[in-house]
Chain A
Amino acid sequence: MDFSAVGAAASEALTLASFIGIGGGVLLGYIVGVIPGLSRSVAISIAIPMTFYMSPFIAISFLIGLSKGTAAGSAVSAILLNAPGEASSAATALDGYPLAKQGKPKTALQIGLIASVMGDILATIILIFVAIPFARVALMFGPYEMAAILAFALVFIAGLSGGNIFKGLAAGGLGIFLGTIGLDNQTGLPRLTFGYTELMDGMPLIAVAIGTLALSEMFVQSEKLRYDRENMSVALKKDADDRITMPIFKRILPTILRGTGVGTFVGALPGLGPSVGSFMSYGMAQKAAKEPEKFGKGEPKGIAASESADNAVIPAALIPLFGLGIPGNVSAALLIGAFAIHGITVGPLLLRDNPELLYSIFAGMILASLIMLVLGWYGLMFFAQITRVPPHVVIPIVIFFCLAGMMLQGYGTFGLIILMAFALLGYLMKKYDYSFVTFLVAFIITPMLELNLRQSIILSRGNWEILLNRPIAMFFIACTVIALVALIIRTFKKEQAVANAPAD
């Protein structure tokens, strides 16, 4: 590593202008993250023109700070409102909201923040020291490996839903079905679009995510409010016990480290993304836990697993971007555009031609994580005030943000109708105990799985033996089969337990 370049980079990163730029990015990201429906990619695309007048270093650090801020901020609404600010924080809500309901909203928020910041800093360090020279490793993950990993993720996440396996399969199946809508990516022919041009690129992801997660939750909340006015809001009291303690931190530290590992791995592979990362990490934490039944009921490890992986994905997605010029996810793809506007071609040449810039960006990324910690820690009380606002005020505001977030997508009235349809679907799934998480993840994964599976089948010319030369793919196929068998055994055991229990 060129140390004079590192020194120059550090000094550029520590100017007042860069503090303001990066801090502004993190703050803006945090706010966007808190608001359900305003997504990371929307925020970045709106912010790119704002960077026209900044230096390339500040512009890129501003945008990366923005990405990081959204990942941390989205935990706040997931925990306090059960409405994740980003789809990737949906796993955070599974334990964060119950913990907040149990009178520990501040503890939940602090766990989320610390997991976010740690996942973020560790993944950034991995990006700097380990990953760039080894970016080429990502090329070992061809279509066979990607298809196997995606199939594994699908089965693994379906296992999270617990409950009835058939309901889980139904939810996942619906997700897969809706994920096949849109133009066929080889022939360009429309599938199941029923003549709507808007459906050519598939069911709008944001409508499906906001509808089933946030808006349907508002329906559930309003219903509760009608019958049970007291039980609804999470009141934030001045409670000295409601804070993260050393024992809690020690308990969640291994989870955070594992979550960072999962997030970095998922982020470094092009095409996966933070939602896959946070759900995989959550599932692994549950599998590794001594008391897995506590998950979903306010387990601090659940929050830590989801948030550390969610945030680790952001810097890790830059590994293939800086190393190979291949974006790891949508927001990384938007960064290519931002680089281009500032006259920089992202790719393997970046390290050779512009080392100062690259090191400055790394320094800026670490700075962004630290700013995020300070902002999140001291802003906690401010953000937590959301819980003091009575539900009859919160619910309409969240609904407004859901609708506004959808309108920003540019789908017009059509988008709002789709959003409402999915809100209704999400409401019914929650009422009848179908896993909307399995549904959503299946929906998000399907297009990637389909493409990689098709590529594998065509490239292998239908010859199964090709897998023998693909140890990584074989490994994940084996994992998928084991997970599937374990899942079936668990379901039968549960049914037996239910059958043996005396009827009450």
Chain B
Amino acid sequence: MKKLTLASTALCALIAAPALAEEWRPTQPMTMVIGFAPGGSTDIQGRVLARTLEEYFGQPVNVVNQPGGGGAVALTRFLNAEPDGHTFMFGVQLGLTFSPIVTEVAYEIDDFRYAGTLVGGQFGVVAAGDAPYQTFEELIAYGKENPMTYAQQLPMDEAIMRIIAEQEGIDLAIVPTGGGGGMAPLLLGGEVDYAFSGGTHAQYTPTGEMNVLAFLTAERSPFYPDVPTLEELGYPYAIDDFRSFFLPGDTPDEIVEAFENAARFAVEHEPFVETTVENTLHPIVFMDAEETEATIRSIREANEALMAQ
């Protein structure tokens, strides 16, 4: 994975600049589909991204929310979108890397094109700040002596915790939470011992109310450089998710290229970066079109392997 440094982007911008004149440009207002309800982090990032894209493409960008099934509803509807570049999606990859494994959906990875990644995820395991364990190792040691409870959000994180609990001999009960909003009261109210967090922890770590014990992602979070990943701790499991541009399957290369450049522009554009990092507390991660598609396929394989266990 390539994290864009300042220097390399500046270089990219220089190279990209002369090509701008010949690049594909929209001829009418554009529609950005977001597969989540208004107000969530995907929506907030998307709405600020829409302003950035208006600046880049010179056309108004309307945001349409099509919530449901973790993005699956929007992807299903997106199958019928015109491949002319005027309708595109911005969102998480879970609808492609996870939903098809457990649900019968009308689409597959091959049905879409992937025009670049802009935002990274930060799936982690958290505990209350006053818990008797401050690291994942301490949690495991504690669990060997005491029965424990864990609040899940995705079947994948449940699978990982179940495997680790069996391996370490921990008596673990796993409860559903119905999302990050439901996790916080459970953990802070002392109902569960530790929990999955898709990003909710960012609000609570500065006050010391929550502690991130480990990240489930393949790489450490830039916001918590001292917190290890599960893989570093010796458990060979990871769940990742990135936020990317999706385009209809028949979209021509030149349009995909234009969106790839738009993504390059956005990850350096002050308002988008600021909102993403400071307000929604997600890291900026850039990947080009090819790398985005390859990542989606490899995450899908990893998830399939995990769910098969």
**Cβ B280 vs Cβ A340 within 8 A:** yes
Given contacts A324-B188, A458-B174, contact A347 B203 (CB under 8 A): yes
A460 to chain B, nearest CB (A): 9
Given contacts A341-B275, A451-B178, contact A183 B69 (CB under 8 A): yes
Q: Please report which residues of chain B, range 108-153, place their CB below 8 angstroms from some CB of chain A when the two chains form the complex.
A: 147, 149, 152
- A28 and B40 CA atoms in complex are apart in Å by 23
Q: Quick check: is A198 within 8 A (CB to CB) of the other chain?
A: yes
Q: Quick check: is A49 within 8 A (CB to CB) of the other chain?
A: yes
Q: Quick check: is B192 within 8 A (CB to CB) of the other chain?
A: yes
B157 to chain A, nearest CB (A): 11
Q: Annotate A151-190 by CB proximity to B: 1 below 8 A, 0 otherwise.
A: 0000000000000000000000000000000010111111
Name the A residues within 8 Å of B99 (CB-CB): 188
Interface stretch, picked from B16-24, B60-68, B226-234, B289-297, is B60-68
* Beta-carbon nearest neighbor of B173 in chain A: A458
Q: Annotate A182-205 by CB proximity to B: 1 below 8 A, 0 otherwise.
A: 010111111000010110110000
- A362 and B72 CA atoms in complex are apart in Å by 39
Interface stretch, picked from A71-79, A329-337, A398-406, A483-491, is A329-337
Contact residue among A48, A348, A451 (Cβ-Cβ distance under 8 Å from B38): A48
Interface range on chain A (Cβ under 8 Å from partner): 35 or more
Name the A residues within 8 Å of B104 (CB-CB): 190, 195
- A2 and B190 CA atoms in complex are apart in Å by 32
Given contacts A201-B69, A451-B178, contact A343 B191 (CB under 8 A): no
A152 to chain B, nearest CB (A): 19
Q: Quick check: is B300 within 8 A (CB to CB) of the other chain?
A: no
Q: Quick check: is A349 within 8 A (CB to CB) of the other chain?
A: yes
Q: Quick check: is B155 within 8 A (CB to CB) of the other chain?
A: yes
* Beta-carbon nearest neighbor of B106 in chain A: A197
Contact residue among B37, B39, B69, B77 (Cβ-Cβ distance under 8 Å from A338): B39
**Cβ B204 vs Cβ A325 within 8 A:** yes
**Cβ B186 vs Cβ A142 within 8 A:** yes
A266 to chain B, nearest CB (A): 16
Q: Quick check: is A130 within 8 A (CB to CB) of the other chain?
A: no
Interface range on chain B (Cβ under 8 Å from partner): 35 or more
Interface SS majority for chain B: mixed
Q: Annotate A118-141 by CB proximity to B: 1 below 8 A, 0 otherwise.
A: 000000000000000000001111
**Cβ A459 vs Cβ B40 within 8 A:** no
19 pairs, CB–CB < 8 Å, chain A vs chain B? A45-B37, A142-B186, A186-B176, A188-B70, A190-B103, A197-B68, A197-B76, A326-B185, A333-B39, A335-B39, A337-B40, A337-B43, A341-B44, A341-B275, A345-B203, A454-B175, A454-B176, A455-B176, A459-B173
- Other A-B contacts than A143-B175, A271-B182, A451-B176, 18 sampled, CB-CB below 8 A, are A48-B47, A49-B47, A143-B186, A143-B191, A185-B176, A186-B152, A187-B102, A188-B155, A197-B69, A197-B105, A200-B70, A200-B72, A201-B73, A325-B184, A334-B39, A340-B275, A459-B173, A459-B175
A residues sitting closer than 8 Å to B (CB atoms) are: 44-45, 48-49, 138-143, 183, 185-190, 195, 197-198, 200-201, 270-271, 320, 324-327, 333-338, 340-341, 343, 345-349, 410, 412, 447, 451, 454-455, 458-459, 461
